[in-house]
Amino acid sequence: MKDKGWSRFIRSFSFAVNGIKLTWEKEQNFRIHVFIAFFVVIVSLFLPLSAIEWALIIFSIFGMLALEIMNTAIERTVDLVTGEYHPLAKMAKDIAAGAVFVYAIMTVIIGLIIILPKLLSKWGL
């Protein structure tokens, strides 16, 4: 019999947590993103950020992590479908990685716009 109600809801969380755990264990880039995010949050705690600036930073961090998880899911799905080299499989993986790269560029720009001027001001520059 299938889970219903709260049981099903709670069980879905365990699947999600397992997906994050697997991504952490298997994907070096995800771990790098987490460490960078941790560093950005620590630095930001010492800066006078507005609520909107915090929201942009948090949105950028969690968006980056979510996109990296989706990229991993796409890569694993492609690997499942074909174990051999195929130009379309490579294309799918490259495009997914490109999406992560574009988002990473955006997060760096947002970080520079928000954090860099505050750091420079704090250092008297």
Q: Looking at the annotation, which residues are catalytic?
A: 68
Whose structure tokens read 């507005």? Answer: 50
Q: For residue 79, what are the CA distances in angstroms to 44, 49, 74?
A: 39, 43, 9
- The two tokens of residue 14 are 């365990």
Q: What angle do CA 10, 76, 83 make, to 5 degrees?
A: 145
Residue 58 CB burial class (10 angstroms; 0-12, 13-18, ≥19): middle
Q: Which distant-in-sequence residues (6+ apart) come within 8 Å of 68 by Cβ? A: 23, 27, 29, 30, 33, 100
